[in-house]
Structure 1
Amino acid sequence: MFWTNMRVYVLLLVVFLSHALFAQSQPAVAATIPEPPLVAKKPVLPAAKPLHRIIDQQIQQGHKDYQKLSSVRCSDSEFLRRVTLDLTGRIPSIEQTRAFLTEKRPEKRTILVDQLLGSPEYARHISQQLDVTLMERLRKKYIDVGAWEEFLRQSVAENKPLDQMVREILSADGSKKEDLAAARFYLARDGDVNELTRDISRIFLGADLTCAQCHDHPDVNDWKQDHYYGISAFLVRSFVFKDKKKKQTVFAEKAEGEVKFESVFEVRDKTSKGPETTLPVVFNGSKVPEPAFKKGEEYKVKPAKDVRPVPKYSRREQLGAAITSPENRRFARTMSNRLWAMVMGRGIVHPLDADHSENPPSHPELLDTLTDQMMAHQFDLKWYLRELVLSETYQRSSANDLFNSKDAEELDDSKFTHAILKPLTPEQFAWAVLEATGQAAVYRNSLKKKLTEESLRKKLVGYERQFVSLFGGLPGKPVEGFEATADQILYLSNNQAIQGILSARAGNTAGRVLKVPVEQPEKAAEELYLSVLNRHPDQAETKEIVSLLAGKTGKERSDLVSDLIWALVMSSEFRFNH
């Protein structure tokens, strides 16, 4: 059926190339600025005015030519698609699109944001984002992945404070039913102390300390070997234990064991004074003291063959509290920056795990403010995301008249003068395709009174898993950009499941378009574009669709409509959040 009409092929090329060229026109990133304020400050209070207004003020103050360089406010259709993808992981339905574009209330964007934040899809999508951040698509090991995903989803749904969620994860050993799922963070990494030290520092502290394991970091003066081992000391006594009687795997712990380290450079130069050791400590914070026990009294349950030891004092249990302590601003700063990057397309510190004085933030005052307010609002995830997406900074258009001018080099992404193009995540891509083709609508209609977010997901999750397996990258190495591979292109072009949802059936996009009277091709064009790209077609696009549909009836018309849907779904405009 596909590519039987050369003009459809031409249309696809035009759509793809125009948006691909636009994507390439986005400027490169640059940065410069002061050492991160990582020591504790005095407790801060919520700001007197909304954070989204402070964001706009400080972004504009960050660059003297911001007003001259910045894009205009995005259109309603851009905002609707962007914020729905960012907060719920899918594009809006055609019903939502029509309703929002015809809504006249001036506060309709705020109303939309609150509706999305209150939806079950918000909890599902944000928990998936957290899952990828925390687990980097590691495969199942010991702990049921579904239980872990439900732990995250439920945590987001009840708006559990982000610091509390992290404490629960870092204190879990899997020995109790209530913390079994949360222990996946440790157990999926096989309890490897070095891997955990690396990932904890990267994910929660914005510092990739991998190269500080054998010596002070060779490229970052701020990061020392004792920073690496200060974190490692929380974990050095822990190990994976398989309880054969209970048929359970837990992250057990001994009562003794110390980290020992010395610089390989000092060993080589014969200047080493011998191995050092350290108590647990997070960067330059306070070392965590350890109670002393008489020899032989260190355990609640002493080590023995096939017996899980339980010490009276657990070093690992102190890790979550130390990481999220108000004295450690790195955690709040890193989480603020990660969430900012999630919706804005780039961190204020970028890369996200390179927060040090030689890679300063693009807007140091703003990152300080975000950190303060994250702490002042007790790590309220929903509040924080709401403030970000209500800012005018978030609502800038991705288009800018200066992209093709002599001033294009001034449009650095780090200035946030425009919305940065973000490739859809595999999950977003899957659900966007299901919404654009109308497959989601078909199942919504079939479920009727049984329709819930969970019941709909059960019907369609197979599609999501196919997209994740193909587009999700290697476990432990999440994809950050987008570059289509041959396998991906073949899947999207030839997979029977994909081809099946393009064909006309009652309630899906092709079916709705074919119901439009033949003598009203302009309405067919509108139905296509509102369904797939969530906007009205422009004059040239309408003219092209009208021309393609002219004289087509029966199967020829049906095949052509499916081809057109496929062409729009394959366009760069669809593949990116813009």
Structure 2
Amino acid sequence: MFRPNMRVYVSLLIVFSCSTLAPHPVCANSSTKADEPLVASKPTLPVARRISSLIDEQIQNGTKDYAKLASPVCSDAEFVRRVYLDLTGRIPTVTQTRAFLDDSQPDKRAALVDQLLETPEYARHISQRLDVMLMERLRKKYINVTLWEEYLRDAVAENKPLDQLVREILAADGSGKGQQAEARFYLARDGDVNELTRDISRIFLGANLTCAQCHDHPDVAEWKQDHYYGISAFLVRSFVFTDKKKKQTVFAEKAEGEVKFESVFEVRDKTSKGPETTLPVVFNGPKVAEPAFKKGEEYNVKPAKDVRPIPKYSRRAQLGDALTSSQNRRFARTMANRLWAMVMGRGIVHPLDADHSDNPPSHPELLELLTDEFTASGYDLKWYLRELVLSKTYQRSSSNELFASKSDQELSDAQFAHAILKPLTPEQFSRSVLEATGQAEVYRQSLKDKLSEAALRKNLVGYERQFVSLFGGLPGEPVEGFETTADQILYLSNNGSIQGILSPRSGNTADRVLKIPADQPEQMAEELYLSVLNRRPDATETQEVAELLAGKTGTARNDMVIDLVWALMMSSEFRFNH
């Protein structure tokens, strides 16, 4: 059984490991100043739609003592790791890291961002982030999950407008040829009207209306019971139907059915006037009226035993349009905030489903700007993410000694003046482990001219699923912060698949390090750190590596290199995006 050299592990962690609050100071010592401009490449979009600099202005204007508190713009090493993780879901390869660090072009950051946005890995990673947002890691039910994943990947690859994607999902019933995948949002939740109402309001409207089901929300005065049932009214006629002949499950709908509700408080106090009802409506928007039909003419296909009814008018089909309508600003605002949180580590409104007047945005004018510009762009996901990561706000260092002496209130007031530490998602963690050990490169070499994102993923997806099962949380309750369990520790320390990818094999990290002559410990240390942490080691770290490898030959040298790779990979510097 593989047992990491604990002396190596402990000694290395003393040198380079960061706590969850204080990452390695690689960027704190950067010569780049907080107020130095970032040179961008020639804009590919109209100047009027370039908002990265406006983001920085709003953050600066909204932060007291910003010039004093703001971290410097991060070093190239921190940037290349961060942007690869956020746009492709993995750390860069050692070759990609070296190329970026050695590049002297002033616009190289913008050029790299544009390059990454066009890769198949970008489409895969962002589609997975959307998947977790929409499905919250719910288990497979009725719909082939692979079809759903490919549907989202294709949507991101073609840069489908986000509002269009949401409308397609909310209009889907799973009956049309080639349209089964979109219905997963409904069917994975068993078509439960209350669960769907809660999730739609949380995910798309930034409002957790759970406590407004039985009465007006007790803690948020502006969230009313009729807000909950206005959304529920779009769905109340829908139900899961299985066609036994076709062996297909769809989200069917009837032509009749109304929501009925009354406050439990009014019932208790005997002040209720009886159950109320409402037409479909999204918050305070216009109510969606429906056409009247003569009795008996409501259906294209009438209900019958084992027959899916098809009404002439579908309430549910109106939901996507009402939700994404220009009259409903909450949708654009919530999506702009969610995408901001995806790359910045925290929402401007936080928690993301608590957008109300008692929980104001940290930067109200900025959120208004982002909402307006995201809407004006036509919900252009690629453009929006590009603007976010090209801002100096995104490119701040995560290390600033000034923050160590600040109170919680002062830190809260200085939100986004420095980069927020973000634990890697399970998908990011798995892919980064495979890059750090060089296992992904081994597969790339084996595929040769057959190499593609899809082919490589086929080789790596087994590792990804193991990480998701261990680090992803419970179905419907994905992990949002950082936590560790005994199972995770045991897996990373002793699992055979981890042992296997650490051992030297042609082209992987341990193999490359071992091929460096023993009298060149500086080069060995650099190869280790660039491969795993995407930065060059400092003098102390180089000396530590040299001392640990000194005098070791044969199996002892092999084992020590394996231990070094493992120890670097287990550090909290690796586990976080900072």
Distance change in 2, residues 1:314/1:469 (3 Å): same
Distance change in 2, residues 1:6/1:90 (3 Å): closer
Per-residue Cα deviation, 1:473-498 (whole angstroms, up to 9, x for no partner): 00000101111100000000110000
Partner of 1:402: 402
Partner of 1:281: 281
What is the root-mean-square deviation in Å for CA atoms of aligned residues?
Answer: 1.6
Partner of 1:292: 292
Distance change in 2, residues 1:5/1:258 (3 Å): closer
Letter in 2 for 1:460: L
Per-residue Cα deviation, 1:145-181 (whole angstroms, up to 9, x for no partner): 0000000000000000000000000000001023210
Letter in 2 for 1:127: S
Q: Secondary structure at the match of 1:283?
A: coil
Letter in 1 for 2:419: A
Partner of 2:437: 437
Letter in 2 for 1:500: G
Shift of 1:360: 0.5
Shift of 1:48: 2.7
Distance change in 2, residues 1:247/1:406 (3 Å): closer
Partner of 2:520: 520
Rounded to whole Å, the distance in 2 between the matches of 1:65 and 1:47 is 30
Partner of 2:74: 74
Matched, 1:551 2:551: yes
Rounded to whole Å, the distance in 2 between the matches of 1:18 and 1:385 is 28
Rounded to whole Å, the distance in 2 between the matches of 1:271 and 1:246 is 51
Structure 1 segments of 4+ aligned residues over 6 angstroms from their partners: none
Partner of 2:110: 110
Superposed, which structure 2 residues align to 1:27-176 within 5 Å? 48=48, 50-176=50-176
Q: Quick check: 1:402–1:408 contact (8 Å CA) kept in 2?
A: no
Matched, 1:344 2:308: no
Rounded to whole Å, the distance in 1 between the matches of 2:533 and 2:191 is 45
Rounded to whole Å, the distance in 2 between the matches of 1:83 and 1:456 is 21
Letter in 2 for 1:370: L
* Identical aligned residues as a percent: 77
Rounded to whole Å, the distance in 2 between the matches of 1:171 and 1:4 is 53
Shift of 1:414: 5.8
Please give the TM-score of this superposition, normalised by the length of structure 2: 0.95
Q: Quick check: 2:49–2:373 contact (8 Å CA) kept in 1?
A: no
Rounded to whole Å, the distance in 2 between the matches of 1:387 and 1:176 is 37
Q: Quick check: 1:413–1:420 contact (8 Å CA) kept in 2?
A: no
Q: Quick check: 1:69–1:410 contact (8 Å CA) kept in 2?
A: no
Total equivalences in the alignment: 559
Partner of 2:474: 474
Distance change in 2, residues 1:358/1:165 (3 Å): same
Rounded to whole Å, the distance in 2 between the matches of 1:96 and 1:13 is 26
Name structure 2 gaps, 5 residues minimum: 26-44
Distance change in 2, residues 1:548/1:310 (3 Å): same
Letter in 2 for 1:312: K
Q: Secondary structure at the match of 2:48?
A: coil
Letter in 1 for 2:377: H
Per-residue Cα deviation, 1:116-160 (whole angstroms, up to 9, x for no partner): 000000000000000000000000000000000000000000000
Q: Quick check: 2:533–2:573 contact (8 Å CA) kept in 1?
A: yes
Distance change in 2, residues 1:518/1:425 (3 Å): same
Rounded to whole Å, the distance in 2 between the matches of 1:138 and 1:58 is 37
Q: Secondary structure at the match of 2:114?
A: helix
Per-residue Cα deviation, 1:274-331 (whole angstroms, up to 9, x for no partner): 0000000000000001100000000000000000000000000000000000110000
Letter in 2 for 1:571: S
Superposed, which structure 2 residues align to 1:363-402 within 5 Å? 363-402=363-402
Distance change in 2, residues 1:541/1:17 (3 Å): closer
Q: Secondary structure at the match of 2:241?
A: strand
Rounded to whole Å, the distance in 1 between the matches of 2:159 and 2:308 is 34
Letter in 2 for 1:162: L
Rounded to whole Å, the distance in 1 between the matches of 2:223 and 2:272 is 19
Matched, 1:257 2:261: no
Partner of 2:320: 320
Rounded to whole Å, the distance in 1 between the matches of 2:340 and 2:91 is 20
Letter in 1 for 2:253: E
Distance change in 2, residues 1:105/1:277 (3 Å): same
Q: Quick check: 1:437–1:510 contact (8 Å CA) kept in 2?
A: yes
Letter in 1 for 2:374: M
